[in-house]
Amino acid sequence: MKALDDRAQNLQRESVATELAARVAAIFERYPMLCGFSVRERSTVGKDSAMVQLEGELYLADVSVITLPALRVTREFCNQIAKVLLELMEEEPDVSDLLSGRTFARTVQ
């Protein structure tokens, strides 16, 4: 029975990880100027990091965009990214464990 429970938990975790990957890919697709961002616990976020509180001690931080004079990271831009992550956290409460301490970066082919 334990093996069956473990298998079910692993499948659930894989499903959540797959959904997280899809949402992050959608964020990068929606914002082509976005280079990357991280999700970190408050205690690990420096004062100079652009940040938005997600849930509890989790914060969106280190948001970076393509370096062009007209582009800069704004609070509104961070809020749009946070909104997608918060929606996922509401739908899949287990995703918080997968988000914490992660950095997401655009992949270039």
pTM for the full predicted model: 0.83
Per-residue confidence (pLDDT) for residue 109, from 0 to 100:
58
Of the candidate ranges 30-34, 49-53, 98-102, the one whose mean pLDDT is the lowest: 49-53
Per-residue confidence (pLDDT) for residue 63, from 0 to 100:
92
50 vs 43, residue with greater confidence: 43
Pair of tokens at residue 62: 């280190």
Encode pLDDT of 63-76 as tens digits: 999 877 777 888 89
Band of residue 101 on the pLDDT scale cut at 50, 70, 90: very high
Q: 39-60 burial string, b = 16+ CB within 10 Å, else e?
A: bbeeeebeeebbbbebeeebbb
